[in-house]
Chains A and B, each alone.
Chain A
Amino acid sequence: MSAEARGKLKIYMGYAAGVGKTYSMLEEAQELRERGVDVVVGYFEAHGRKDTIAKAEGLEIIPRKKIEYRGSTFEEMDTDVILARSPQVCAVDEFPHTNVPGSERGKRWEDVLVLLDAGIDALTTMNIQHLESLNDQVFEFTGIRVRETIPDWVVEQADEVVMVDLPPRALLNRLDRGVVYGREKAQRALQNFFRESTLVALRELALRQTAHEVEHRAGNEDAVARKDGGPPGQANARERILVLITPDPETAMLIRRARRVGDFVGAEPLAVAVRAPGGRNGSPEDHEAIERHLNFARNLRIETRIIEGDSVAETVVDFARSNKVTQIFLARPAERRWRIPLTRDPVQSIVALARDIQIVIVSPRAPAPAR
């Protein structure tokens, strides 16, 4: 680690393609350049938009790296060249982008973190639907499971999050006039994220998230500690959340929700899986699912623990009591399981056993069936 100060990160947050994120980012790059700051464009995607292309004029654009994959050539940001060039500021479009296999890092946000580590400031763009902890909510009203997500702790690294706003009507007009996409792609877009109700809902989520980001930073007295890699935010020492990890598919949703609530109320979650002594019971599939869920929790920077015990409910409640857990997060059992006698469902057993602890039963935010 060099003694150099870590670079600053600014995120332009939007809610759909075409609201003007890239444009705003390039505008800032131009202003910086006029003020004599050494700024380069590490990657930008113009999507053939005239205004955006014009905004990039005069800026130094770092050539993309060409990567061969399965007989095709893909282009990615060339992080090594940027590091060698070592500008003060680098503009990088599409923060959540997944790099083509064969790239040095899997995600563009990982490349951006490398730039920050090297002391380079970064400007970047993203849409709200890519935030990991909102994945279920977005699925709820779009029916789309966004795969390209950014963990919340990465967004938290940003020194500033700015909302790029445009009313949905205006955006739909732009789409109509072919400003956002070509005709064919525009038609496809209208089928998914570009329905008016979806745009309105995403816009609201983006505004609320940005408000949270602003509040979080303003109230953050220990900003210095954060920059030094200390814990983000003011963790509420009194509140401790336990998240029960099971093989059930709802567990991913539970982890996201616990992460989100924990971030908002300032409590650190702890993910706990229960294993029978000596690993006696459970199918290999169950073990594999639990491993996957624990990994997912770790990727969201949640501490994990595997404990042993015969009864899931009793083991979890004992662990919670002896570890000063104040809230236990459980996934709502799937409908089919309600029919099985109650004794078999750990959720109800935990509710019955832990009357001295807050219990949060999290319900999947699945799209409502058409009625």
Chain B
Amino acid sequence: MPSELRRRTPEDLLREVQAEEAAVSWGRLKIFLGYASGVGKSYRMLDEARRRKARGEDVVVGGIQPAVPEDVEAILRNLEVIVPISTGDRPIIDLQALLRRHPSVCVIDGLAYDNPPGSRHATRWEDVRELLEAGISVITSVNIQYVAELREDVEAITGKHVTETVPVAFIKSADEIELVDAAPEEPLGPAPDEHPDAERRQQRLSKLRELTLVLAAEVVDQELTKYLESHGIEQHYGTQERLLVCITPRANIRAMIDTARIIADRFHGELIVTYVQQAQISVADQAALDEKLGIARAARAQIEILDGEDPIETILEFARSRHITQLFIGHSQRSGIGPRLWGDPVDKLIRGSQGMDVRIFPQ
């Protein structure tokens, strides 16, 4: 999971709230997200445009794929279209005409297109941003293949190199995202078990679907966090698994991090590794700690160095603030078997961790 998809910090959220306040006059952005072409994004988009028009909204179509299926064509006939400018290479949306016409809602298909050199913006998503800035709401669609930050993942799946992309931040800035998870319309050919190519294609599509569902979930999670924070709700909903691995210089962390990485990946969750700074730390301990943080980084964990007098309280407070669902610690290294006394760090951590699972590792 690229780090761009991780949960935002309170600072990010504050910035967003401020941006939101500054942008009250911006248009609303709605994105239909799909995992392949032919899953029906265009139809869903135009169907929404049709319904909005029927409800009295001022809707205009500003960009549409050159070749559309019959059902899409039928809807298009009843909508006002501002025809894109055809250049030698590919059509570019008529931004000037759209700004002059200034509808309340504009439909723009194919968010990921690049504009030809010499255009006002290099990419179509920047055209869309200008429409939004001008107070025009936009309904658009994009395919998971064209999300910039996922390009490597997609390339590994499809083997195709994509040059036209939309930054994930722009997709996440959408006021509303709608997932189109239907099966692609193209014939799949013979049943998978009869044809190896069809089977591979099916596998590729599954992986793209998974990426798409997870991206949509990330966007929704962000929406949920924003909603809860803006309504002053402190309770965490546990919709996303968030793992926090607590390490110390002497801890044996390899198994802990490996397990955490697997669990985080399987749950499409978030992995944070934390260390509470100690006042005096020997050179040897510092070296050991650095090595451990290296292991954590290699496992693509976020690293959080915390400060606090009481390490257990510090960890718990951080865990609550980040809505951690699973806490990883090492078994107590104190010797002796049998009942222990209050004050053992592991006991204290368990006692203070209501609402989280605690996973204790052999040392």
Contact A349 B217 (CB under 8 A): no
The minimal Cβ–Cβ distance linking B287 to chain A, given in whole angstroms, is 26
Contact B357 A360 (CB under 8 A): yes
On chain A, the residues within 8 Å of B183 by CB distance are 162
Chain A: interface size category: 35 or more
B26 at the interface (CB under 8 A from A): no
B178 at the interface (CB under 8 A from A): yes
Complex Cα distance A203/B331, Å? 37
Q: Which of B178, B207, B338, B363 contacts A166 (CB 8 A)?
A: B178
Contact B338 A200 (CB under 8 A): no
Given the interface pairs A197-B227, A204-B239, A207-B217, the reply to whether A218 lies near B176 with Cβ below 8 Å is no
Q: Which of A166, A197, A264 contacts B263 (CB 8 A)?
A: A264
On chain A, the residues within 8 Å of B347 by CB distance are 342, 348, 351
Complex Cα distance A365/B340, Å? 27
Q: Which of B180, B233, B268, B346 contacts A351 (CB 8 A)?
A: B346
B360 at the interface (CB under 8 A from A): yes
The minimal Cβ–Cβ distance linking A170 to chain B, given in whole angstroms, is 8
Q: Which of A170, A214, A265 contacts B206 (CB 8 A)?
A: A214
Complex Cα distance A359/B338, Å? 16
The minimal Cβ–Cβ distance linking A276 to chain B, given in whole angstroms, is 20
On chain A, the residues within 8 Å of B179 by CB distance are 163, 165, 207
Complex Cα distance A77/B46, Å? 37
Q: Which of B223, B234, B351, B355 contacts A200 (CB 8 A)?
A: B223
The minimal Cβ–Cβ distance linking A32 to chain B, given in whole angstroms, is 12
Contact B360 A361 (CB under 8 A): yes
On chain B, the residues within 8 Å of A338 by CB distance are 351
On chain A, the residues within 8 Å of B210 by CB distance are 211, 214-215, 218
Q: Which DSSP category, helix, strand, loop or mixed, fits chain B's interface? A: mixed
Give how many B residues have a beta carbon under 8 Å from the other chain's beta carbons.
Answer: 60
Contact A201 B358 (CB under 8 A): no
On chain B, the residues within 8 Å of A210 by CB distance are 181, 213
B64 at the interface (CB under 8 A from A): no
The minimal Cβ–Cβ distance linking B88 to chain A, given in whole angstroms, is 38
Q: Which of A201, A217, A264, A367 contacts B224 (CB 8 A)?
A: A201
A169 at the interface (CB under 8 A from B): yes
How many residue pairs link A and B with beta carbons under 8 A? The number is 160
Complex Cα distance A284/B228, Å? 45
A141 at the interface (CB under 8 A from B): yes
Contact B339 A207 (CB under 8 A): no
The minimal Cβ–Cβ distance linking B222 to chain A, given in whole angstroms, is 10
On chain B, the residues within 8 Å of A200 by CB distance are 220, 223-224, 227
A59 at the interface (CB under 8 A from B): no
Contact A165 B238 (CB under 8 A): no
Chain A residues numbered 168-212 whose CB sits less than 8 Å from any CB in chain B: 169-170, 196-197, 200-201, 203-205, 207-208, 210-212
The minimal Cβ–Cβ distance linking B173 to chain A, given in whole angstroms, is 15
Chain A residues numbered 210-240 whose CB sits less than 8 Å from any CB in chain B: 210-212, 214-215, 217-218
Chain A 131-148 interface 0/1 with B at a Cβ cutoff of 8 Å (1 = within)? 000000100110000000
Contact A218 B357 (CB under 8 A): no
Contact B339 A349 (CB under 8 A): yes
Contact B178 A167 (CB under 8 A): yes
On chain A, the residues within 8 Å of B340 by CB distance are 342, 348, 352
The minimal Cβ–Cβ distance linking B94 to chain A, given in whole angstroms, is 29
Chain A 63-93 interface 0/1 with B at a Cβ cutoff of 8 Å (1 = within)? 0000000000000000000000000000000
Given the interface pairs A204-B224, A351-B360, A357-B362, the reply to whether A211 lies near B238 with Cβ below 8 Å is no
Contact B357 A140 (CB under 8 A): no
Complex Cα distance A140/B239, Å? 10
Contact A208 B362 (CB under 8 A): no
The minimal Cβ–Cβ distance linking A342 to chain B, given in whole angstroms, is 5
Given the interface pairs A201-B224, A207-B213, A348-B347, the reply to whether A355 lies near B206 with Cβ below 8 Å is no
Chain B residues numbered 217-263 whose CB sits less than 8 Å from any CB in chain A: 217, 220-221, 223-224, 227-228, 231, 233-235, 237-240, 259, 262-263
Given the interface pairs A165-B179, A167-B177, A358-B259, the reply to whether A205 lies near B239 with Cβ below 8 Å is yes
A61 at the interface (CB under 8 A from B): no
Contact A368 B357 (CB under 8 A): no
Contact A360 B216 (CB under 8 A): no
Chain B residues numbered 266-301 whose CB sits less than 8 Å from any CB in chain A: 266-268
B337 at the interface (CB under 8 A from A): yes
Contact B266 A264 (CB under 8 A): yes
Complex Cα distance A214/B361, Å? 31
On chain B, the residues within 8 Å of A166 by CB distance are 178
B182 at the interface (CB under 8 A from A): yes
Contact A204 B361 (CB under 8 A): no
On chain B, the residues within 8 Å of A265 by CB distance are 262-263, 266
The minimal Cβ–Cβ distance linking A20 to chain B, given in whole angstroms, is 11
On chain A, the residues within 8 Å of B360 by CB distance are 351, 358-361
Complex Cα distance A207/B213, Å? 6
A54 at the interface (CB under 8 A from B): no
Chain B 331-355 interface 0/1 with A at a Cβ cutoff of 8 Å (1 = within)? 1100001111110001100110111
Contact B337 A352 (CB under 8 A): yes
The minimal Cβ–Cβ distance linking B265 to chain A, given in whole angstroms, is 9
User: Which single residue of chain A is at the shortest CB-CB distance from B179?
Assistant: A165
Contact A362 B262 (CB under 8 A): no
A363 at the interface (CB under 8 A from B): yes
Q: Which of B177, B207, B353, B363 contacts A218 (CB 8 A)?
A: B207
Contact A358 B361 (CB under 8 A): yes
The minimal Cβ–Cβ distance linking B322 to chain A, given in whole angstroms, is 16
The minimal Cβ–Cβ distance linking A237 to chain B, given in whole angstroms, is 14
User: Which single residue of chain A is at the shortest CB-CB distance from B176?
Assistant: A167
A371 at the interface (CB under 8 A from B): yes
The minimal Cβ–Cβ distance linking B28 to chain A, given in whole angstroms, is 10
Given the interface pairs A265-B266, A363-B353, the reply to whether A358 lies near B224 with Cβ below 8 Å is no
User: Which single residue of chain A is at the shortest CB-CB distance from B347?
Assistant: A348
A2 at the interface (CB under 8 A from B): no
Closest 8 CB pairs of A and B: A218-B206, A211-B213, A207-B217, A165-B179, A368-B235, A163-B181, A343-B339, A264-B266
Cross-chain pairs A/B with CB under 8 angstroms, 14 sampled: A140-B237, A165-B216, A167-B178, A200-B224, A204-B221, A207-B220, A210-B213, A211-B217, A214-B209, A215-B210, A332-B353, A358-B361, A361-B359, A368-B355
Question: B residues near A, CB below 8 A?
Answer: 176-183, 203, 206-207, 209-210, 213-214, 216-217, 220-221, 223-224, 227-228, 231, 233-235, 237-240, 259, 262-263, 266-268, 331-332, 337-342, 346-347, 350-351, 353-363
Taking A170-B178, A351-B347 as known contacts, 6 extra A-B pairs with beta carbons closer than 8 A to each other, sorted by chain A number, are A204-B220, A204-B240, A210-B181, A214-B206, A355-B331, A368-B235
